C-alpha cells in the first residue's frame, strides 16, 4: 500500500501540470484537441500496449495510462485521504472517465515540456545533479511500497514520472519564473488601480482573560485592573494567548473574530469589560488600542502586491512557454 505522504506527493506532483494544461488547452490546444475530446475507452476494451499518442516520437500507450490511473484512484480512495469517493462498484471507471482524460492531458504536457526544455542549450540536462532529488524520491517510494512497484515496468514508469516532473520544475524555477518578477513600475500601477484592496477597516487590540465558570470569573473581575491584567491572564486564562502573551488578541476588525469581541469597539483604551459569556467560556476584556480605518501606503502594500503580481505573471510565463512547446514539438495520435 502506498504510504500516505507518498500518495499525496505523487498525486499533487502532477496536479500543477494537469491544471495548467487543462485551462490553456481548452482555448488554444489545437494540436492535441483530438486526444482530449476523444472518449478514452474502458481498459477492458483497449488492446494492451496500444499507443494513444506520441510526443516527439515517444509513445504514451494504454498501459502507461492505466498505471497512472490506478495510481491516482488508489490515492484518492485511500482511508482518511482527501474527500472519500463513494463505493460505486462497477460504475467506478465510468464515473471517473473525466479523470482519465485529465491524466492523459497531464502526461502529454509533462512529456511535451520535458522534450522542449532539452532544446535549450543553456540548460544542461546532462548534469547528474539534476537527477539526484528525483532518484532519491524514486528509491524511497520503492522501499516504502515494494508491493506497489514490483515489476520493472512499474519502477521505470515511476522513475520517468518523478524525474520528468523534477526536471521541468527545475527548468521553470531557473529559466521561466525569473521572467515573472514584477518591476517597481508594475507594482505602483497595481497599487493605483486597486485601491479598495488596501483599505483597512477600524481595528482593535485587546487583552482577555477567559475562565471556565462564572463564579471564578466574578472573583477575578473583582481583583483585576489595567495594571495587573497581563499577569492575571497568564495565571488564570484558559486560552493559549493567556500564558503566551498576557491575553493579547489582535489587531482585528469586526467580523474577524467571535462576536464577543465586538464590545471592544465601544470601549476606551484601558477600560475593562463586564463578564461576557461565549461558547469558549467567560471573558473579561480590556481594550488596549483602537486604530481608525486607513489605506495602506504603497510601501506597506508592496509585499502583498509583489506576491499577487508574481503569481499572476508566473502563470502567464508558463502558458507562453507551453504554447511555444506546442508549436515546436510534434504530437501525433495513431488512433485518430
Contact of 268 with 259, CB cutoff 8 Å = no
Find the mean pLDDT for residues 269-276: 95
How do 281-291 and 294-295 pair as beta strands? unpaired
Beta bridge partners of 205: 289
What's the mean pLDDT when you consider all of the chain? 81
- Domain spans of the chain, in order of start: 4-182+313-332, 202-292
Cell of 71: 495510481
- CA dihedral angle for residue 136, residue 19, residue 55, residue 159, rounded to 10 degrees: 10
DSSP label at residue 86: P
CA atoms within 13 A on the CB side of 223: 13
What does the alpha-carbon distance between residue 2 and residue 7 come to, in Å, rounded to a whole number? 6
| Best CA proximity match to 74, nearest among 159, 18, 66, 155 | 66
Q: Which pTM was predicted?
A: 0.64
Q: What was the pLDDT predicted at 7? A: 36
The order of strands in the sheet holding 58-61 is: 58-61, 51-55, 331-332
Q: Which fold has domain 202-292?
A: Chitinase A; domain 3 (3.10.50)
Q: What was the pLDDT predicted at 202? A: 95
Q: Which tops the pLDDT comparison, 89 or 147?
A: 147
Contact of 141 with 133, CB cutoff 8 Å = no
What does the alpha-carbon distance between residue 336 and residue 29 come to, in Å, rounded to a whole number? 16
What does the alpha-carbon distance between residue 14 and residue 107 come to, in Å, rounded to a whole number? 8
**Roughly how many angstroms between the first and final C-alpha of the chain, as a whole number?**
37
pLDDT (tens digit per residue) in 26-48: 444 444 444 344 434 444 444 55
3 state DSSP class of 267: coil
Cell of 85: 469517493
CA atoms within 13 A on the CB side of 247: 24
pLDDT (tens digit per residue) in 91-109: 655 666 677 778 888 888 8
pLDDT (tens digit per residue) in 163-199: 999 999 999 999 999 999 999 999 999 999 999 999 9
Q: Tell me which long-range contacts 171-174 makes (C-beta under 8 A, separation of at least 24).
A: 171/113, 171/117, 171/120, 171/123, 172/318, 172/321, 174/123
Contact of 328 with 225, CB cutoff 8 Å = no
What does the alpha-carbon distance between residue 250 and residue 262 come to, in Å, rounded to a whole number? 12
Is pLDDT at 273 greater than 90 in this prediction? yes
Beta bridge partners of 219: none
Beta bridge partners of 295: 199
Contact of 260 with 237, CB cutoff 8 Å = no
Task: Please give the distance of CA 200 from its chain centroid, rounded to a whole number.
Answer: 27
Could you give the residue ranges of the DSSP H alpha helices within the chain? Answer: 4-28, 33-37, 62-76, 92-95, 97-117, 132-144, 152-171, 184-193, 214-223, 229-236, 240-245, 298-328
Q: What was the pLDDT predicted at 47? A: 55
For the chain, the residue count is 336
Q: At what angle do helices 97-117 and 4-28 cross, to 10 degrees?
A: 80
Amino acid at each position: 500500500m502506498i504510504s500516505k505522504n507518498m500518495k499525496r506527493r505523487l498525486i499533487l506532483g502532477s496536479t500543477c501540470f494537469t491544471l495548467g494544461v487543462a485551462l490553456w488547452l481548452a482555448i488554444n490546444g489545437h494540436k492535441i484537441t483530438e486526444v482530449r475530446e476523444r472518449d478514452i475507452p474502458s481498459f477492458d476494451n483497449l488492446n494492451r500496449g496500444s499507443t494513444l499518442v506520441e510526443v516527439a516520437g515517444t509513445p504514451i500507450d494504454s498501459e502507461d495510462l492505466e498505471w497512472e490511473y490506478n495510481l491516482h484512484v488508489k490515492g484518492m480512495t485511500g482511508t482518511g485521504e482527501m474527500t472519500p469517493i463513494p463505493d460505486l462498484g462497477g460504475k467506478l471507471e465510468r464515473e471517473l472517465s473525466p479523470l482519465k482524460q485529465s491524466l492523459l492531458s497531464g502526461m502529454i504536457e509533462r512529456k511535451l515540456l520535458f522534450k522542449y526544455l532539452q532544446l535549450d542549450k543553456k540548460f544542461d540536462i546532462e548534469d547528474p545533479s539534476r537527477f539526484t532529488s528525483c532518484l532519491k524520491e524514486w528509491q524511497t517510494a520503492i522501499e516504502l511500497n515494494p508491493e506497489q512497484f514490483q515489476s520493472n515496468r512499474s519502477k521505470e514508469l515511476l522513475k520517468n514520472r518523478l524525474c520528468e516532473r523534477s526536471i521541468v520544475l527545475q527548468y521553470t524555477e531557473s529559466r521561466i519564473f525569473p521572467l515573472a518578477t514584477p518591476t517597481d513600475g508594475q507594482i505602483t500601477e497595481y497599487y493605483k488601480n486597486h485601491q479598495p484592496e488596501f483599505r483597512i477597516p477600524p481595528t482593535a487590540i485587546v487583552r482577555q482573560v477567559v475562565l471556565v465558570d462564572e463564579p471564578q470569573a466574578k472573583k477575578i473581575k473583582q481583583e483585576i485592573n489595567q495594571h495587573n491584567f497581563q499577569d492575571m491572564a497568564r495565571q488564570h486564562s484558559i486560552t493559549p494567548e493567556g500564558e503566551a502573551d498576557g491575553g493579547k488578541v489582535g489587531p482585528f476588525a469586526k467580523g474577524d473574530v467571535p462576536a464577543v469581541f465586538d464590545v471592544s469597539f465601544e470601549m476606551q483604551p484601558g477600560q475593562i469589560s463586564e463578564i461576557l459569556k461565549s461558547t469558549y467560556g467567560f471573558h473579561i476584556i480590556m481594550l488596549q488600542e483602537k486604530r481608525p480605518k486607513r489605506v495602506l501606503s504603497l510601501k506597506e502594500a508592496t509585499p502583498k502586491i509583489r506576491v499577487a503580481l508574481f503569481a499572476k505573471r508566473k502563470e502567464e510565463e508558463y502558458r507562453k512557454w507551453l504554447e511555444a512547446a506546442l508549436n515546436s514539438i510534434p504530437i501525433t495520435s495513431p488512433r485518430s
